[in-house]
Amino acid sequence: MSTAAAPGPSTAGTAGGGGVPVRTSGPEVVTLTMNPTIDLCWEVEHLTVIGKNRARVRSVAAGGGGINVARHIARFGERTTALHTAGGEIGLRLNRLLDEEGIDHVAVGIDDDTREALVLFETGSHRGYHIVPPGPRLHEREGERCLQVLEQLISNRAYVVASGSLPGGLHDAYYAAVARRVRSAGARLILDTSGPALPAALAEGVFLFRCNRTEAESLTGHPVNSFDDARALNEHLLTTGAAEVAVTTLGALGALCSTSHGHTELYVPPLPGEPLSDAGAGDSMVAALTTQLAAGDDPVSACALGVATAAAAMLTPSTEPFDMDVARSLRPQVRTADSG
Per-position DSSP letters for 157-175, written without gaps between them? -SEEEEESPPPBTS-TTHH
As a 3-state breakdown, the chain gives helix, strand, coil percent values, each rounded to 5, of 35, 25, 40
- Rounded to the nearest 5°, which phi and psi values hold at 118? -120, 130
Find out whether 210 and 163 touch, Cβ atoms under 8 Å. no
Is the distance from CB of 316 to CB of 280 less than 8 angstroms? Answer: yes
229 catalytically annotated: no
- Given 229, 283, 297, 323, the catalytic residue: 283
Q: For 155, how many CA atoms within 13 A lie in the half-sphere containing its CB? A: 11
68 Cβ neighbours under 8 A, 6+ residues apart: 163, 280, 283, 284, 287, 319
Q: What is the Cα–Cα distance from 225 to 281, expressed in whole angstroms?
A: 18
> Residue 338, class by beta-carbon neighbours within 10 Å (0-12 exposed, 13-18 middle, 19+ buried)?
exposed
* 3-state secondary structure string across 57-71: EEEEEEECHHHHHHH
Name the residues annotated as catalytic.
283
